[in-house]
Amino acid sequence: MSRGMSKCRITNTAPAAREPGATTFGDYASSSRGSSEPNAMAPAIIEKIKDHPCFSREAHLYFARMHLAVAPACNIQCNYCNRKYDCANESRPGVASHRLTPDQALRRAMAVASEVPQLSVVGIAGPGDACYDWRKTKATLIPIARKIPDVKLCISTNGLALPEHVDELVDMNVGHVTITINMVDPKIGTKIYPWIFYDGRRYNGIDASRILHERQMLGLEMLAERGILIKVNSVMIPGVNDEHLIDVNKWVKDRGAFMHNVMPLISEPSHGTFYGLNGQRCPAPSELIALRDRLEGNTKVMRHCRQCRADAVGLLSDDRAHEFTISQLPAEATNDSDKRHAYRKLIERERRGQTLDARDEATPVSAPSDELFLIAVTTKGGGRVNEHFG
């Protein structure tokens, strides 16, 4: 998964605020009742996203993901990447404290599944590329699907090795894939990717970017044809691809991407990346918001990404990775699914309650007045006023 963050970080201090394009469960519920609301979605799509904390903004309030850093090899070089280990204090994509073997990954997944009732997704999101380091990705996800069948499987990839694995992803029941696409014009790609390794040889310059672009588009189309939900991540690099991401957005929407997540570049000299060492600046928060606003309406724009570490565990706003280090894992992994099932029932009840509330809403009473009132309310989500200011 792509890197980005720290001083460029845009935090979501009010995760429940309704932003343009944000989807709440009320939207899902009304769409399943046949509403013509702009956010109306097919029930099959609702089913796929309603418990996925990244594909649904509403779900991130309730559901957790965990990442397994099992696939460290990568087949391209991005100018913003430095895959690191033992970087416990850096919260940004691609860093992880340890790489795991597939056996360790299974033990960790089962321990988290037993202890974190909100867990709904297990993902592989760096360091490295899940499709290139395929043997390890497969050796990790197949046993997890068997032992914890109620969690969704998710991977993130640069797309170069994606096309040859699409059918296996379907067979393995991986329902969500993120492709990092930073350009659709290979000339711009030359400023982001110095080289790729493809089909047994290394390519540089425009050839590298052209091959990467073609493979990304092919992989995207193949996933869309097979009904896998696709999110595209793009790293916003001022002066390199910021304006160009408007074109990227159109291309990926036309090829079936469900959601576009534009993330700010992380670029600091201490990270040791090409951009960091060469003074490439990261976008200001206002620039990122302005770009996302321009994309809104064309495809769903993600605004609640936390640019997670490659070993993150828990709700997006509450990383619990430190509770599940290898040394803390029980020798014998068991899958205690009771807590998860009880929690999901609770959330279903809460969501049903919201739907009924929305249905029962009376027409607002208004009285003519020249006075303008500003009223502050807080919410935990779901379109309700249900939080205090404390």
Query: Can you say whether the dihedral through the CA atoms of 60, 27, 219, 152 is positive or negative?
Result: positive
For the segment 71-90, give every residue that binds ligand SF4 (CB under 6 A): 74, 76-78, 81, 83
Could you tell me which of 324, 281, 303 has the C-alpha nearest to residue 96?
324
| Residues 52 and 152: beta-carbon distance below 8 Å | yes
For residue 306, state whether it binds ligand CLF (rule: CB under 6 A).
yes
137 membership: H or E segment, kind and range:
helix 134-147
For residue 183, state whether it binds ligand SF4 (rule: CB under 6 A).
no
358 membership: H or E segment, kind and range:
helix 338-360
For the segment 2-31, give every residue that binds ligand SF4 (CB under 6 A): 2-3
Do the strands 259-264 and 300-301 form a parallel or antiparallel pair, or are they unpaired? parallel
CA-CA distance, 24 to 4, in Å (whole number)? 27
For residue 308, state whether it binds ligand CLF (rule: CB under 6 A).
yes
The DSSP secondary-structure symbol of 329 reads S
| 21, 72, 93, 219: residue in contact with ligand CLF (rule CB under 6 A) | 93
Residue recorded with tokens 């070089």: 77
For residue 121, state whether it binds ligand CLF (rule: CB under 6 A).
yes
Question: Judged by CB, which is closer to ligand SF4: 128, or 381?
Answer: 128
Query: Can you say whether the dihedral through the CA atoms of 136, 137, 142, 148 is positive or negative?
Result: positive
For residue 1, state whether it binds ligand CLF (rule: CB under 6 A).
yes
Look at residue 178 and give its three-state secondary structure.
strand
Distance of closest approach, residue 180 Cβ to ligand CLF, in angstroms: 10
Which of the stretches 205-213, 215-223, 306-314, 354-362 binds ligand CLF when contact is defined by CB under 6 A? 306-314
Size of site (CB under 6 A) for ligand CLF: 19
Distance of closest approach, residue 302 Cβ to ligand CLF, in angstroms: 6
The pair of structure tokens assigned to 6 is 């720290």
Question: Judged by CB, which is closer to ligand CLF: 39, or 91?
Answer: 91
CA-CA distance, 216 to 237, in Å (whole number)? 19
For residue 125, state whether it binds ligand CLF (rule: CB under 6 A).
yes
Name the residues that contact ligand CLF, by CB under 6 A.
1, 54, 65, 67, 93, 121, 123, 125, 154, 156, 176, 178, 231, 261, 305-308, 316
Name the residues that contact ligand SF4, by CB under 6 A.
2-3, 74, 76-78, 81, 83, 94, 126-129, 158
